[in-house]
A and B are shown apart, each in its own frame.
Chain A
């Protein structure tokens, strides 16, 4: 069964460092998303991506964040200068057709720890 994969599963970094979180969405999917979940809190939307551009972003997704689909298969989230408060689980998701009825498939997440 197709699945969304994410690497690494756990990333530890120093405050101020750049990190890149990687995701491989399901191959025929067209819409891509990043969410994050701070420990003990709910899952929050960060950004959606379609047709090689950002379609929507939340207030959390400031200038320190960027997304890219560099090669038609990977989907990356970059944090330029990490802060302590960026420590969270980051989930990638993808879905196929347009419309709210098609479910998003989530990856297993990357746990980011900023020291």
Chain B
């Protein structure tokens, strides 16, 4: 079964600094991976997804993630943090064990941006 871990439940960066949120996955088959963002008191919004087309995936709001099979990682980065990036970020993997493909979420990383 697929699973996801996220290193660091809380990450704090200065405005303008690099954002790096870590995600590692476990899967016996090539995974489909996602990053979702949850702003305070809001739902889940898809940032980007990896579906094996390209290892470097670009998403919304300047975020990107790189799939590294050798490291079983899918870390999320953004070159320059903005105050509006403060949110909860969830890495997720699509459970391809069934054709109905539920999403399995990691525990989340809370990003704070310091002015």
Which A residues lie at the B interface, using CB under 8 A? 31, 33, 35, 41-45, 48, 50, 55-56, 91, 93, 95, 98-101, 103-109
B residues near A104, Cβ cutoff 8 Å? 103
A-B contact count (CB 8 A): 61
Shortest distance in angstroms between A97's beta carbon and chain B's nearest beta carbon? 10
With A45-B104, A56-B100 as known contacts, state yes or no: A109 contacts B94, CB within 8 Å.
no
Interface residues on B, range: 20 to 34
A residues near B63, Cβ cutoff 8 Å? none
A42 close to B103 (CB less than 8 A): no
A43 close to B43 (CB less than 8 A): no
B residues near A108, Cβ cutoff 8 Å? 42-43
| Interface status of B67 (Cβ within 8 A of chain A) | no
Which B residues lie at the A interface, using CB under 8 A? 32, 34, 36, 42-46, 49, 51, 90, 94-96, 98-108
Q: List 27 A-B contacts (CB under 8 A).
A: A31-B100, A31-B101, A33-B103, A43-B90, A45-B103, A48-B101, A50-B100, A56-B100, A91-B43, A91-B44, A95-B101, A98-B99, A98-B101, A100-B32, A100-B94, A100-B96, A100-B101, A101-B32, A101-B49, A103-B34, A103-B49, A104-B103, A105-B46, A106-B36, A106-B44, A106-B45, A109-B42
